[in-house]
């Protein structure tokens, strides 16, 4: 018995999709769906919040945007190879442009096939370091 092949659904290019991706790519920040919605809705007042949710997830699955699994989830229009640091004091997400290589062979030895990895770093951002010093 033949098992149904993994979905071959054709993705359609809608105005909403284009707008959402463009606006996300313009940003240097890592917005939540809600935050991006507030920007996008100014250019298309008819757009629905769930369309933002839906498309961000689609973009992520297509490898078009990055996803940061905070709560709420944040997305990243910058696909260059980098990591993120979350400030434990103010919650801000910053970019960390340096690389920690993981060797696929090491993972293979442990019985797994490596597909991807993310490094989630926590720390204090510069302004929170200053704030902390002032309070001392």
Residues 30, 91 contacting (CB under 8 angstroms): no
Structure tokens at 127: 């302004």
CA angle 58, 99, 103 (to 5 degrees): 85
Q: Read off φ and ψ for residue 49, nearest 5 degrees.
A: -60, -40
Binding track over 19-58 against Mn ion, x by CB under 5 A: ----------------------------------------
Instruction: Tell me: does residue 89 bind Zn ion (CB under 5 A).
Output: yes
Instruction: Tell me: does residue 128 bind DNA (CB under 7 A).
Output: no
Q: Is the dihedral of CA 13, 15, 19, 22 positive or negative?
A: positive
Give the interface with its own copies as residue ranges (CB under 8 A). 1, 3, 69, 71, 85, 87-91, 94, 96-98, 100, 102, 106-107, 110-126, 129, 135
CA angle 36, 41, 43 (to 5 degrees): 110
C-beta closer to Mn ion: residue 15 or 25:
25
Residues 94, 53 contacting (CB under 8 angstroms): no
Binding track over 60-99 against Mn ion, x by CB under 5 A: ----------------x-x----------------x----
| Residues within window 86-105 making contact with DNA, judged by CB under 7 A | none
Choosing among DNA, Zn ion, Mn ion, none, which partner's interface includes residue 27 (Cβ < 5 to 8 Å by kind)? Answer: none
Strand partners of residue 75: 67
- Chain positions contacting Mn ion, by CB under 5 A: 76, 78, 95
């Amino acid at each position: 018995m033949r098992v149904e092949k993994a979905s071959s659904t054709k993705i359609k290019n809608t105005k909403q999709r284009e707008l959402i991706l463009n606006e996300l790519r313009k940003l240097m920040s890592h917005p939540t769906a809600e935050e991006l919605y507030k920007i996008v809705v100014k250019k298309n007042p008819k757009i629905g919040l769930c369309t933002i949710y839906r498309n961000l997830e689609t973009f992520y699955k297509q490898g078009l945007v990055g996803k940061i699994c905070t709560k709420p989830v944040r997305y990243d229009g910058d696909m260059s190879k980098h990591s993120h640091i979350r400030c434990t004091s103010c919650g801000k997400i910053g970019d960390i442009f340096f690389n920690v290589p993981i060797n696929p062979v090491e993972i293979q030895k442990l019985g797994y096939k490596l597909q991807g990895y993310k490094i989630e770093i926590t720390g204090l951002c510069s302004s929170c370091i200053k704030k902390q010093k002032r309070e001392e």
